[in-house]
Structures are given as structure tokens and as C-alpha cells.
Structure 1
Amino acid sequence: MKPFPVIIAGPSGVGKSTIIRSIITEIPELKPFKTITTRPRRSNQEDRYSFINVDQFQGLIEKGELIEWAEVHGNFYGGLKKDVLEILNLGKFPIPINAVDVQGVKTYRQAFPNLLSIFISYGSLDELPDRIRATRPDATEEDIRTRMISAQKEMEAAKDFDFVVANPEGQLKQTLAKVRDIIKKRIRG
């Protein structure tokens, strides 16, 4: 089996970070790589981000050091080529995994044709406002409206992914089981 990265994507508040945190404890072959971002750190922030300023981010773009990048809700996000390649160059394992913006999957697929991409969707878009409020307590109603509009557009991108897994409110265990099975099946070849 040739080494391959795993990309998890989906709209805001769908549970991407929660899924990755859980999956990496269940599948020891997975190794997360960080997302570079210009957005402010949240109080409940996990370690999967490196925070830099806009000038530093622009420098990474100019030097061609990012696999992909996107501006999302006024902030920049991207993945460093060297981080993914360092993991892949170790051989069959570990397998790099990260959550990326929906816009980034096509660029990742160009760089890594054997990419495994999993889109996480809501059970229903009606769940989104409550999920955003839970993960972003300082979100304004305007923030929520903006994220609702983005989520509707992002849901249309699901067709570009290898797998689509719904994560309805209250069914995280079932969602994790589906994602785990998809990844383990790919590992087994």
C-alpha cells in the first residue's frame, strides 16, 4: 500500500475536530498535521492549529510552501507541504490526517492522487445554529447567518469527496464508527 493522506472536511460546526481527536486515539496509524491559520485562538482551542499573522501567511503563499489555502470568513487557512510530506516519507505508516476547508480537497487531490477524502455533513442544517453557539459562544447572529449561507454552499461540494458521512446531533458514536471503518478498510487495502 502506498502512503496516503486522509482529509476530513465539512461545514462549520459539523464536528470535524471532534471526529479527528477521537479517530486518532482509535487508529494508531494516523498522525495529525497542523493547519496554519490567521484567525484568533479560541478559548477551547485544540493543538491542531498554528496561529500566524496575515503577513506571515502571505509569505508562505509567495514561497509556495502551502499545499492549499483558502480565505474563510475573513481568515486564512492552509496546510504546509513539508508537514504532510514529512509524514508520508516515513513510509507506509503513519498516515497524515487533518480537517481542511471544503475548497481545499481538489488541491490536495492534485498533490496526492491517492488521497482519502471524507465529507462530514449535518443530520440537518437546522442543527447548525445550536452547534455554532456551542463551539463559538461569542458568535453573533450575523456570524451564524453567514455560516449558514456558507454551509449550504459547502454541502454542495460533498460530491467531490470519496465518502460522505452524516453526523446528526446526538449520534457521534455512530458517525465515528463509520469514519473508522472507512479508514481501516483503506489501510487494509
Structure 2
Amino acid sequence: MTRRLTVLAGPTAVGKGTVAAWVREHHPEVWLSVSATTRPPRPGEQDGVHYHFVSGDQFADMVRRGEMLEWAVVHGRASYGTPRAAVEQALDQGLMPLLEIDLQGARQVRASMPEAYFVFLAPPSWDELVHRLEGRGTESAEERAVRLETAKVEMAAQEEFDAVVVNDDIRRAAEELVSLMGSH
């Protein structure tokens, strides 16, 4: 069976990382892409596990050589991107590759790999998304307001995706995602 890359995207604070982590822990048959970034590692992060930590020059060279499936500068600071070779290698090995990224990245992947399967992770409601963002306590009130404005735009993009999974329960959403991956 030929595998396709599955792209998981959705608005800020919807739980993309949490769902992807659950999949990583419970579904070894799913290969999760490791992004490259120019930001320094946070405490506990390991190079090659959480991210590939590279210099700004290294990242720029990777972009210039066409080695990134998608990439962006986030919050005007650090660059993040998906190394193309690792995704292609996972596909060649018949693995079930999963890429957890933002809407901008998903659109770049659609342009360069339109055969991929695109899944939008949605919150159960707008109020729940606001609650989750506020509950994280990691952003200032100003940053939360900016993220919520962005989330409105991101929520409107659901129609661009092949499927929508509602993240009302992490385990259930992750299992639905894996089920969709296996059927496509």
C-alpha cells in the first residue's frame, strides 16, 4: 500500500502538539516529522528528537537548496521548517508520516506535495479555544489577542482540508487521526 504524508494543522491552542505527542506515544507505526529551527533549545529538548537545532546560516542554506518542504519565520524571530528528505525517506520506507504544522506551512506543503492528506484539527467550540489559550498562561494578554485574531482566520480555512477532526478529547481525536491516516 502506498502511503501519503498526512498534514495536521489547525488554529493556535487547539492542541496539535498534544494530539501529535499522544500519537507518538501510542502509535509507533506513525512517523512524526522533526522540524528544523534556528531557535535555541529549551531545557530538556534534544537535538534530533524535539527539533533539529541549526544556525541561521544553515537554515538559509537548506531553504536555498530546496531542502525544506515548508518553512516560515515565526513571530519575527526564529525560523522553523520541515526537512524534505526525511519525509521522502519515510514515504519510501512505507511508513505513515505525520507532519504537525500551522496553516501557512500546510498551504506550502499543498503547493509542493498536493498528494498529501490534509487534516484540520478543530476545537469543540470557539469558547473552548479561547479557554485553552488563556489556560496555558504562556502568553501576555496582548499576545493572546493577536493569536485569537489569527485563530479566526485559521478557523475559516477548514474547507481547504480533506478532513476535520474535533479535539474534544485527546485520545479520541488522536485515534480518529490515525484511523484517517490508515484509510488514506
Question: Any runs of at least 4 consecutive aligned residues in structure 1 with deviations exceeding 6 A, and if so which?
Answer: none
The aligned counterpart of 1:156 is 156
The aligned counterpart of 1:121 is 122
* Residue type at the aligned position of 1:3: R
The aligned counterpart of 2:182 is 184
* Residue pairs, 1:164-183, within 5 angstroms: 164-168=164-168, 171-183=169-181
Tell me by how many angstroms 1:50 deviates: 2.4
Distance 1:167 1:45 in 2: 26
C-alpha change, 1:44 and 1:132, in structure 2 (3 Å) is: farther
Distance 1:25 1:138 in 2: 25
CA contact (8 A) 1:9 1:16 kept: yes
Distance 1:123 1:29 in 2: 28
Tell me by how many angstroms 1:178 deviates: 2.1
- Give the TM-score of the pair, scaled to structure 2: 0.84
* Residue type at the aligned position of 2:105: G
Tell me by how many angstroms 1:158 deviates: 1.5
Query: Percent same amino acid among aligned pairs?
Result: 30
Stretches of structure 1 lacking an aligned partner (at least 5 in a row): none
Tell me by how many angstroms 1:44 deviates: 7.2
Q: Of 72, 76, 79, which residue of structure 1 is paired with 2:79?
A: 76
Distance 1:180 1:86 in 2: 20
Give per-residue Cα distances to partners, 1:49-101, cap 9 Å, x unaligned.
223343332222222211111233224221111111121222xx212212012
C-alpha change, 1:120 and 1:42, in structure 2 (3 Å) is: farther
Q: Aligned with 1:14: secondary structure?
A: coil
- Give the TM-score of the pair, scaled to structure 1: 0.82
Distance 2:84 2:120 in 1: 22
Distance 1:41 1:175 in 2: 29
Aligned length: 181
CA contact (8 A) 2:121 2:166 kept: yes
The aligned counterpart of 1:38 is 38
> Alpha carbon RMSD of aligned pairs, Å?
2.4
The aligned counterpart of 1:95 is 96
Q: Aligned with 2:164: secondary structure?
A: strand
* Residue type at the aligned position of 2:129: L
C-alpha change, 1:33 and 1:173, in structure 2 (3 Å) is: closer
Tell me by how many angstroms 1:42 deviates: 4.6
Stretches of structure 2 lacking an aligned partner (at least 5 in a row): none
Tell me by how many angstroms 1:43 deviates: 5.0
The aligned counterpart of 1:12 is 12
C-alpha change, 1:138 and 1:17, in structure 2 (3 Å) is: closer
Residue 108 of structure 2 corresponds to residue 107 of structure 1: yes
